[in-house]
Chains A and B, each alone.
Chain A
Amino acid sequence: MDFIRLAVRDVRRNGSRTGLAIAATALATVILVLSRLVPQGYMKYLAYAERSFADADILVWSAPQHVYSKDTSPLEWRDWSGEEWQSFAGYFLPELKSKGYVSPVDAPGWGPLDAGRLSSIISQVEGVEEVLPYLAFPCKVRVGDGEYVDAILRGREFRGPDRPLAMDWQVKRGRPLGPQDERSPNALVPLEPEEEGPPGAVVPLIADVIIPYAPHLEMEILLPRPQAGTAPSWDNPVSANLRQVGAYKVELGVVPGEFPDEIRPTGYWKRPEVIVSRTTFLDLVSGVLPEPPVYQMLVKVVRHSDTKVIVERLRQALGPDYGVYAIAELVSTSGDMSGISLIVPDMSSLMRWMTITMAGGIVAASVYVLLALQTRKIGLLRAIGATSKDIILYALSAVAYTTLAGIAIGFVLGKIITLTVIAATDFTFFEWLKMAGYDALLSLSGIAIPLTLGLAVAIWASRIPCAEVLRRE
């Protein structure tokens, strides 16, 4: 019977104590395994209605700024000087107009973007599938004799229903636009919902505009003339004719699927966008501007399950003068429509470290308790001839046995939990397997933490004066 066997016998014969230590380590491992997955991104269909209508997973603006908790630069409140047609900021951050936003004093603030330069930077970020400028311009749509309503003319890529974030499924009347509609006057118009959603549901509304829809209806629009330094002028607008081919409805909380009718919308995003193909838009706007201003970049990611990580990469790549937001994040933080003015984006990484620290603390506490309960026995072993080396070996064996068992159980549990949720992400089973292999290595290397902690406690235990311990009988 050597000290390793004695330690193994000890942990086996003390079921409740060992069980507690194993359970604590397993819990810590589950937390670690899950913490690797959770901060990476979002579920596949989270905020899918908004994302597919926006044609983006991530939005980039010149403001509001991200205020990092580690920043030391002075901050100030600023009024938001933007217009609805420039971006989705007013929808996702509804209090921007009334409250403004927090920004570092030296940040440039809201304004048009250098789309070419930003596209070049963003497209090189790992995990980015595509980056496009949000092509929009204010317009007026004729809805009756001499009657016009304010709307937004938007140019968008249409490459068929299989394209990621295609909005074909949101076209409820007529047909969606497609590649054949390039440079054509064909347009989509918003469809007024027959109902306002279930009672108490959130109905985001930026403009209560009704554009009548009828198949192939000719529709006149007016575009303003640009003016240096001020808002575009409607004094001498440019007129153009579009043809309605379809009408869309952005039903919040609804996703494309086999039984879409079974999912009731939680509300509607009633944004008065008259949507045409990208080339049609450029042709129309070229009549008033050589190059339309861009206030918002649309970024699509390869995998929504990695969106958080990609957002952080984009923030690093673009620097502090730009606001980078995952739409899923904006939707979840502004879900109650109270809006947000201040976001601390590095909080997630802080939380992750806190989680890891907590897991380490759980293991440390269980290791300490495991050994602290045995001071009398350690004193006895010293009295009958165990050297410091023997005690350290004994203590580390007990720690290794319990933590290895705990890590194994926690790893399997953690992976099973992640397996149950990958159906809701865009990870495949094989990617899960690959991650499992990596997590297994990570978890095994994690044994170093309890062993290191165990070594410290073991050294402490090996120095317990046995006379003291035996005297306390």
Chain B
Amino acid sequence: MSDWLGPILHCHEITKLYPVADGLFALKNVELEVEEGQFVVITGPSGSGKTTLLNILGGIDRPTHGEVILKGRKYSRMSEDDLALLRRRDLGMVFQFFNLIPELTAAENIGFPMRLLGWEERAVIDRLTYLMEAVGISGRADHYPMELSGGEQQRVAIARALAVKPAVVLADEPTGNLDSARSREIMELFAKFNREERQTFVVVTHERGFEEYADLVLRLSDGRVAERVVKNGQHGAEGKTERPSCAVTPS
């Protein structure tokens, strides 16, 4: 839990234009405010700009126009290395293809971000033990990624993303490479950490079935916010639905 009072993550009029002949909009004037402890699900068909938006939120891609602010810090004023340090401290990343470091064991992968931040070894061990227990891979600590199943690898990736208690965890199609049973387990894990640790999540998925976990659903279409559904603070409880006219600032 941070002591930040306003929206923990705010993206304002995000536009991403790819330099092709007539210019191709990946995103256009996307607005998003994420409160601390919120579970945000971004859905949309393939090519709707979900991953581009998540990359911009994570500071690994820059918008053509607009601003992203994490805990009051504007990305546009930060260098690439500042953004890397921001990711190290305040952002956890989960990818569709797990992206574990193949030369490190499961425990080492999870401990890597903590050690990067110079945590005491005792604290690292305690957090590692807790996370591995929490994601259900305690018995696989010394296994290398190639010795783990896809579901196990994604659990390790989630534990790694959560390791340093970041402000926000960004997950890009975290279930995209798993079967439906494993996918639901992963989403349940996210929900568990959101519920128990008030961890903020922004999850990109093309499966609308997972919207039930969200406090806020952003439905993208052709790079624009087609629909924004605000739930009532409880997963699965339908709340206010906003149409594009109020979600998207006209260009």
Contacts and interface: CB of A to CB of B under 8 A. Distances in A.
Interface stretch (B34-42, B93-101, B196-204, B239-247): B93-101
B227 interface: no
Interface stretch (B112-120, B187-195, B207-215, B217-225): B112-120
Given A13-B103, A383-B99, A467 B111 contact: no
A262 to B, nearest CB: 60
Interface stretch (B77-85, B125-133, B134-142): B77-85
Nearest to A3: B116
B97 A473 contact: yes
Nearest to A14: B103
Interface stretch (A92-100, A267-275, A385-393): A385-393
Interface string A377-402: 10011111111111000000000000
Contacts of B116: 2, 385-386
A346 B80 CA distance: 51
Nearest to A381: B101
A470 interface: yes
Interface size class of B (residues with CB under 8 A): 20 to 34
Contacts, number: 69
Contacts of A14: 103
Given A383-B93, A467-B61, A6 B80 contact: no
A390 B115 CA distance: 13
A9 interface: yes
B136 to A, nearest CB: 22
Contacts of B103: 6, 9-10, 12-14
B58 interface: yes
A1 B84 contact: no
Contacts of B55: 467, 470
A390 B97 CA distance: 23
Contacts of B101: 6, 377, 380-381
A387 B112 contact: no
A471 B61 CA distance: 11
A388 B80 contact: yes
B58 A383 contact: yes
A12 B61 CA distance: 32
A383 B99 CA distance: 10
A280 B69 CA distance: 104
Contacts of A389: 81
A382 B51 CA distance: 17
A9 B104 CA distance: 8
Nearest to A376: B99
A203 interface: no
A382 B60 contact: yes
Interface of A: 1-2, 6, 9-10, 12-14, 377, 380-390, 465-467, 470-471, 473
Given A13-B103, A470-B60, 11 more contacts: A9-B103, A13-B102, A14-B103, A382-B60, A384-B112, A385-B85, A386-B84, A388-B80, A465-B61, A467-B55, A473-B96
Which 5 A-B pairs rank lowest in CB-CB distance, beginning with the nearest?
A: A385-B88, A467-B61, A387-B81, A13-B103, A385-B87
17 contacts: A6-B112, A10-B103, A13-B102, A377-B101, A380-B101, A383-B58, A383-B60, A384-B87, A384-B93, A385-B87, A385-B113, A385-B116, A387-B85, A388-B84, A389-B81, A390-B84, A470-B95
